[in-house]
Chains A and B, each alone.
Chain A
Amino acid sequence: MLKQSGDDKDYIARLVQHALEDSVTKAAGLHQLLEPLLSWQHDPELRRVRKVLIGRHRFYITGQHTECSYTVCYVKIHKRDEENREEDPRFQSQIFAALQGKVTHELTGQSPEVITLPVIVLPSELVTQAFGQADGGARRTLEQIIRGEIVTAYQANSQPIPDARELEREIHIRLKAEEARYYEAQASPD
């Protein structure tokens, strides 16, 4: 399969090398890289399977260093088309959708409800006042601007506005990012 995808390179050699760094008494190789799948721990068969990522591919493996044996039982190939694009662009857009705010049905095949939160350009004078001069009033004004823009984005999408805590969190994070940018710009004005 890896050969068919033209991407076999040295994955097999790597796996073998990792396995060789293990011994019956020492887990210093593949064992360290293998990650158990928590959701399968209740399953008597699947709990034996662990996963390792090499490049973009996922290798599902059974076996233990104490048994001196590992078996690759499944390889999830991350494929690209002939123009080197993601073969399933929907997949990555789901990740971005989740990052943009609405994690609902993103990986169940249903279309997620997505709201693109706006990029907010804050007035530079106000930013200087808020962070450079520690002006509490300017800081509160910045908070109000950010809050207004976020609420407007939800309303424009006919979506319920997140609860107060979530909204405060989003505002706080944006304000902190703005503050970090301000201090960085001060440190390197070019």
Chain B
Amino acid sequence: MADETSKRQEAAVVQEERQLATQQITATLAVYVQVGHATGSAVVLDAQHSYLPVLIGSDQRPIPLYDFVEALDSIVDYSALQSEFPNLSFTQIAGAIAFLRKLAHFNTRGLDIDQLEDEALEQSAEFQEALRRAIADQGAARVLTPQ
């Protein structure tokens, strides 16, 4: 009897947590939809991709916004940015761009995009072996390639 009550309470807590998580997601989604609309709807949030912010290219293929932010990070000149904001360090600039990138990872499925992208590589025995070799080779400062 006590067991059953405890199970019911546990289930109620789980249910409440789920409801809360869903409410948080939907509140965040409402903000993203609002921001998308206010900025000319170039960034699209569609149900098909669990509302991941994307841009639609001329070939109608979606380009994830986080991918776009990554490209910005590649192109941007940190020194030029630093001359605009002399009191910011390189690390703060990198942190700001990483923040924007993470915001662009939003999706209603709660998927961790970084984990999805890197899991296969990081769990592969071949990759781990290459890293072990690199760590062992402490005398040489060099970059290993996957080949």
- Residues of A bordering B, CB below 8 Å: 1-2, 7, 9-10, 14, 17-18, 21, 28-30, 32-33, 37, 39-40, 43, 45-46, 48-49, 51, 53-56, 58, 60, 62, 71-76, 78, 91-92, 94-96, 98-101, 103, 106-109, 116-120, 165, 169, 172-174, 176-177, 179-181, 184, 188
Across the interface, do B135 and A73 meet the contact criterion of CB distance under 8 Å?
A: yes
Nearest CB on A from B144, distance (A): 6
Across the interface, do A55 and B91 meet the contact criterion of CB distance under 8 Å?
A: no
Alpha-carbon gap, A81 to B78, bound state (A): 26
How many residues of B are in contact with the other chain, CB < 8 A? Answer: 60
Interface of A is mostly: mixed
Alpha-carbon gap, A100 to B49, bound state (A): 5
Nearest CB on A from B10, distance (A): 15
- Residues of B bordering A, CB below 8 Å: 18, 22, 25-26, 29-30, 33-34, 37, 45-52, 62, 64, 67, 70-71, 73-75, 77-78, 89-91, 94-95, 98, 101, 107-109, 111, 113, 116-123, 127-128, 130-132, 134-135, 138, 141, 143-146
Interface of B is mostly: helix
